[in-house]
Every structure is written in C-alpha cells, then in structure tokens.
Structure 1
Amino acid sequence: MLLTAPDLPSTWWAALRAALDDIATISTHRHTIRQQYLDRAMPRFLGAPINTTAPSWSTAHGDCHYANVCAPTLHVLDWEGWGLAPTGYDAAMLHSYSLLVPSAATRVHSEFAYVLDTPAGRFAELAVITELLQSITRGDNLEPAEPLRNRAAHLLGRAVESVGPLPYS
C-alpha cells in the first residue's frame, strides 16, 4: 500500500496509460478475475443489493500497483495474473492502492478519469475494492480498510459513515 505520494513526471503517466490501453486490446482466454467470484464476493463485501455484472471486459495486467511499476522509466513487472477483467481494472487497482495518500489518489484518478469515470470504470473499482476488502478479512493490509469502504460507499451512492472526506467526487 502506498504511504507517500510518488513524484512521477507526466511522461511516466502517459507511458503507463499507453501501456494499459495496449494491454486492454490483447485477445485472451485467461482471466484475472471471474464472474463467479464477483457474483459471490461483491454482495458479501459491498452489501446487497448490488449488480455484479461488469459492463464490459478487457485484458488487464491484473496486479497494477506501485510495487509492480518502476520509475523513472516505466517498466511493468509481475505478469502472472494477467487476463480478462472488468474494463478499467488496472487503473482501478492503482487508484485503490493510492487511497491512503489523497494527493496520489487524486493524481491517479485524474490520469485515468477517461476510464474510471465511466460505468465500466466504477464497476472495476468496486471489483478491486471487493478483492482488497476480502484480503483485509485475512489480516492483509489492514490500513486501507476505511478508505476502501468509504470509496465503495461513494461509488454506490451510499452514505459514507466515516468523517474523512474523499479527495474528489
């Protein structure tokens, strides 16, 4: 989980956007996440009722967070989880891993608003948040639990129970 805002140039962000956009067009039968998992886990970790059907699917790196992207020259590492996922999954993962640092979350959101601010992107965020909330129940990465729940509540149009503001709408 990110704890300080990275100082990354615009060229790095442009390269990451281009790489993720290129990956999304690759045809595959591999899966990063499956519909059956979403059907089972989303209601459990996000509450019911919830639509568990992704608006669209595309190919994703599947583990796009700061430990798997290098700078100052972009290199994307850790490819064993690549495959089909809800469209926007990689941007949603990077965003979710940024929530503890509001300035970083704002930057990720700004760089990937073209996908995150779509129905598919919002769904992808909910899918990633579901996975991360499940990992928290196993004792992994406990720190982002509240920001993840707050972001999910915001995306679902539910009342946010914590006092902390979201870094953006």
Structure 2
Amino acid sequence: MTNLIMQSLPYLNGYQSEIQQQVQTLLSQGKLADFLIKRHPEIHSVRTDKALYDYTIAIKNQYLRKSQPLSKVIFDDKISLKHQALGLHSYVARKQGSKIKAKNEIRISSRLKRVPEGLLRMVVVHELAHLKEKEHNKAFYQLCCHMDGDYHQLEFELRLLLTLIDADQNPYC
C-alpha cells in the first residue's frame, strides 16, 4: 500500500507514511480541498509581473535589504510542475566590454497566479533565500523560516494543492 501511495502522491515523497495515508484518505473522500479552503479561503491579487516584482521587493526589503539587487521578477508560463519547480532563481553574468555585469532574476510559475497569498509568499521567500544561500541546506531553511515563520507548513500546504491539481480537484480554479 505504501508504494501505491507514494506513486499517487509524488509531492509528498519525503513525508512519513502516516501523513501520506491521511492525505490519501482525504483525497479519496473529496475532503482535501475543504481542508485547504478552510486554511486559505481566498486567492491573492498579484496578477501582473509588475505587481509580483513589487510584492517580492517588499519582502526583500524587509528581510534581505543588504543582499544583491533583483533585476527581474516575473511570472513564467514555461516553468513546469514535472520537475516540481514553481520558481527559479538565476544569476546571470554577462560580459560587456571589460566589465562583467551580473543580474539576479526570479521567475515564478504562472500557475501560482490563482493560489492563496500564503502559498505565493512561500515560493517567493524560497527564491529570495537563494540570494544568500545557493544550496538547500540548514542555513537556507533557517533563512526561509526567518522570513516566514509558517514556511514549512505553507510548503506542505502547497504540496497538498499540487496533489489536488494532479487529481483534477483544484479548489482555486
């Protein structure tokens, strides 16, 4: 039974089997969406790249004021869930004459345009943390939790939403 659960819940592979079984039960009973709606009844209002940039810069200025600047923050239609990526942070270095210009860019999956604000914030916080910590190590997750105390809970809830999307039960569409 555990292998079957892990196959049908790819976003929860690292979680204990008891949690996976609870999620599978709620999913099969059609109650998983209700859980998310109770926790997050409304979707955010960030719809444009400009609004996403402003939203991200506000968080950056609150927690990472002295970190490297961001040159671009956009919604990206090309980011796929197949690789379980919802956001990408890239450091682009370009040579212009004798100078090297570097830019930090954050791309957020367009699929996150219609999700609760907390779930969008979790992905933005994750990508911002990469400005200081490139690897997913202890310091990285400590920084994420510093920027959002509910980081791990929101990450879990985003994984629940992805599970619902795969099961064609998205409560936010």
User: Larger helix proportion, structure 1 or 2?
Assistant: 2
Scaled to the shorter chain, the TM-score interval is: 0.3 to 0.5
TM-score for both structures, normalised by structure 1: 0.33
User: Larger strand proportion, structure 1 or 2?
Assistant: 2
TM-score for both structures, normalised by structure 2: 0.32
